[in-house]
Amino acid sequence: MHVTLHITTGCNLNCRYCYSPPTSRNDMSQQTAFQAIDFISENYPVNTGIIFFGGEPLLKKDLIRETIAYSHTKLRIRN
């Protein structure tokens, strides 16, 4: 199973074929991302992948790093 986190609608490109042109930017908060990890940890703790999606998700690379670190903490707590 995979869970996709849409962490931003923002993008630094302007592709003609864009499915979701970034006219405005909405970013996922750290609180929401961590709540998603809590939900995954409680409900799907085994063999679940997390996909970071946008927009351009690397605009939020700090949030990606923080969320991965938090998910490692949750796994350590469970084991």
Closest distance of CB 51 from ligand SF4, Å = 14
The smaller minimum CB distance to ligand SF4, of residues 11 and 36, is found at 11
In whole angstroms, give the CA distance from residue 23 to residue 19: 12
Question: Least distance from C-beta 19 to ligand SF4, angstroms?
Answer: 6
Q: Is 14 in the site for ligand SF4 (CB under 6 A)?
A: yes
Among 56, 64, 68, 74, binds ligand SF4 (CB under 6 A): 56
Q: CA-to-CA distance for 26 and 8, rounded, in angstroms?
A: 6
List, in order, residues 6 or more apart from 66 with CB less than 8 Å away: 30, 33
Binding residues for ligand SF4, per CB under 6 A?
Answer: 11, 13-15, 18, 54-56
